[in-house]
Amino acid sequence: MRTPSELNFWKCTQRCAALILIASALFSGGCQSGPGGTIPEMGQTPTGDVYRLRPGDVVLLEVFQEPYMTTRQRILGDGTISVGLIGRVVVAGQTISEASKKIAAQLNEKQLVNPQVNISIEAYAPRRFTVWGQVRSPGAYVIPGEEQLSLPQAIAMAGGNTDIGDVRNVVVTRRNGSDTQKLKVNAMSPTASDFLIQEGDTVFVKETLF
């Protein structure tokens, strides 16, 4: 038979344990979806505030209640599109939101008052990378749409490694302006999913050394 003080201690211990379990569950959920968590899987796309417009993208420009200004065009190599009343505007390197606000501000300085500008992407410029070495289908591939692509996903797109391919010994060649980097990556590492493929990367899977 427990004394009243022992019963109070036992009840307090149970409450504390329950609170710890609830806090652990909330923390685990936050780690999976918060910043720095898992990378979006194939088929999932970040918001328009993440993707930055690029030369070659085909965009649809619309201005609310100004149908004559609707235009569908490809972003030129100099990063510009043509906008009625103001001429060519640089949009490459900006998010959809940033580009829309920039054009609206310039139109506001002309004939329109507080214009509502909407930009949508109708076709993406291809972001190509290459996978070769000990993979089953070496060749050039395209990063889909707005998606982010991790190193393991890139190797998977090339059919995965061959029987003698060593995914723990991968070299990614990346151009940074006039410089070229050779990055050695272990694609089996838990952190490999954080290594994102960039346009122009060359992924080389080396042969296993017995």
Query: What CATH number has the domain bearing residue 71?
Result: 3.30.1950.10
Determine, yes or no, domain membership for 148: yes
Q: Is-contact 139 182, C-beta < 8 A? A: no
3-state secondary structure of 69: helix
3-state secondary structure of 18: helix
Per-residue pLDDT in tens (0 to 9) along the chain, 210 residues: 544 444 444 444 444 444 433 333 333 333 333 332 222 333 333 444 678 999 999 999 999 999 999 999 999 999 999 999 999 999 999 999 999 999 999 999 988 999 999 999 999 999 999 999 999 999 999 998 878 999 999 999 999 999 999 999 999 999 988 899 999 999 999 999 999 999 999 999 999 986
Q: Which of 123, 144, 164 is the last residue of a domain?
A: 123
Q: Is-contact 203 155, C-beta < 8 A? A: yes
Of 203, 97, 186, 189, the closest CA to residue 149 belongs to: 203
Distance CA 61, CA 104 (A): 11
Query: Which residue type sits at 44?
Result: Q
Total domains in the fold of the chain: 2
Determine, yes or no, domain membership for 51: no
- The DSSP element (H or E) to which 179 belongs, if any, is strand 179-185
* Residues paired with residue 139 on neighbouring β-strands, in sequence order: 131
What pTM did the predictor assign? 0.63
